[in-house]
Structures are given as structure tokens and as C-alpha cells.
Chains A and B, each alone.
Chain A
Amino acid sequence: MKTKLPYSTPSGYFDSLKSRLSEIPDKSKGRFNFVPYFALAVSFALLVMLGNFILTKSTASQPASDQEIIEYLIDSGTTLAQLEEAVYNY
């Protein structure tokens, strides 16, 4: 440093700093890094949700044909009275 700095530090600061910094490797050894595993799990969940959304949308977007509606009404056991009532209310 060419210029005298107007700053100071607490007494014995650099010894304490060096000692604290030297502990970094030991502290990092015992630490398990969850971040990449968490990111992988989130990515997988997002992919599943996206796939589900696309599949649901593609089947839901196609309108049912008249024949399909008739077959559904027959198979579901809907009575004629219910149909007449539905038409009347409509």
C-alpha cells in the first residue's frame, strides 16, 4: 500500500482472522450439500406436472361426438324421465 490508510483494526484481529479462516476446510467437510438433490427433485416434479397438464389438455380439448354422448347416456343408466326433465329445464 503506497498511501497510509486511515483505517485500523481491533488489536490481534489478523491472528484471530487467520485462525477463523483456517477452520473453513474442516467446517465444509461435515456439511452435506442438499441443493443439487433438491433442485433435481423439483425439476422432476415440474416435468411430471407439465406432462400431466399437456396430456389432460390434449384429451379434454377434443369435443365428444354425438355418438359418444349417446353411448355414455346409455351406459350410465340415465332414464328417459331424467332426459326429458333435463331437456325441459334446459
Chain B
Amino acid sequence: MQEQERFFNELVQKYSEPLYWHVRTMVGSHEDADDLLQDIFIKVWKALPGFRGDSDVFTWLWRIATNETVSHLRKARVRAALSFSRIDEQAERISDPDPYFDGDAAMTALRKAIAALPDKQRLVFTMRYYEDLSYEQISAITGTSEGALKASYHIAFEKIKHLLLESD
């Protein structure tokens, strides 16, 4: 148990910050990212006895974080649908004044465009654009083929380009 606790604390020290940014680029809001990080590390702690090292720590952690974040985004969409607000209203809300957003007008438009993407495309786009992960790494994390990821990224890129041109 002590060994497990020591390993968990090593993971917290080494990976909590990059994992925060991984989640933050997908959800946008600091508060949501902070809540999600807590849930993610509770899951990590519970899953730790079953971690056999078959996949490397990075892939294992990013997989847990990605699944948790996608689940959060899905719930948010369902909640929005039940409250009769539309997806683009949701995207609008994400771009509301945020004290922890330092971007200029172009960055704000990009943030809004990313928020309007479907979950899978948003996931691939942020992992490539912000985290510079290879398709091979993203494939190991998401369990999706590299070909499908490339297609998703291409569609996301085109949609963002279209949205940015539209907003000009």
C-alpha cells in the first residue's frame, strides 16, 4: 500500500500539470478542468492496483483523462439539450469573459471554433495542435486507428478554417 501511495504521489508530481493542460484545452474553463483533474486522479488511484505496465504510464494516464473528459463533454451536451439550449449557444458560453483566458481576438475566435467541434474532432485537434502528440500516440490513447484520426483532424481543421473565415 505504501509503495502504491509513493508511486501515486510521483504521478501527481510529474503529470498533474501536463494533464491539467490536456484537459483544459478540451474543456476550456479552468473550473471544469480543476474538477475533472480531481475525478481523474481518484480514478487513477482506484485503477493503480490493476496497472501492470502493459502500456506506458503516459498512455495509461492520458487514456483515463481523455475518457473522463469526453464523458464530461457528453454530459454537458445532454444537459444543454435538456435545458433546450443549442450547441452553438454552448460554444458561445465557453467564450464568455474568462479571467483565466489571455488570448487576443484571433485566439478567442479559435477557442470558439474548437468548442463548436464534435467531441472526437475536438479531441484529435487539441491533442495535435496544442500538445503536439503524434497520431501514433493519440491512437494508443483513444484506441482509434491512425487513418481515422487523420481524417478527423482534417475535417476539424477545415471546419475551424471555415468558422474563422466566417467570423472575420
Interface centre among A3, A8, A18, A25 (most CB of B within 10 A): A25
* Known contacts A1-B132, A6-B107; is-contact A14 B20 (Cβ 8 Å): yes
Contact with B along A1-39 (1 / 0, CB 8 A): 111011111100010011011101100100000000000
**Chain B residues within an 8 Å CB radius of A10:** 30, 100
| Of the residues B13, B24, B102, contact of A18 by C-beta under 8 Å | B13
Could you say which of B34-42, B50-58, B85-93, B137-145 contacts chain A?
A: B34-42
A residues contacting the other copy or chain, number (CB 8 A): 18
**Chain B residues within an 8 Å CB radius of A20:** 38
Chain B interface, DSSP helix/strand/loop, else mixed: helix
Closest residue of B by beta carbon distance from A27: B42
Is B45 a contact partner of A7 (Cβ separation < 8 A)?
no
Whole-angstrom distance from the CB of B11 to the nearest CB of chain A?
9
| Of the residues B5, B8, B111, B132, contact of A6 by C-beta under 8 Å | B111
* Known contacts A6-B101, A6-B107, A28-B45; is-contact A21 B16 (Cβ 8 Å): yes
Q: Using a CB–CB distance below 8 Å, which chain B residues touch chain A?
A: 4-5, 8-9, 12-13, 16-17, 20-21, 24-25, 30, 34, 37-38, 41-42, 45-46, 100-104, 107-108, 111, 129-132
Q: Using a CB–CB distance below 8 Å, which chain A residues touch chain B?
A: 1-3, 5-10, 14, 17-18, 20-22, 24-25, 28
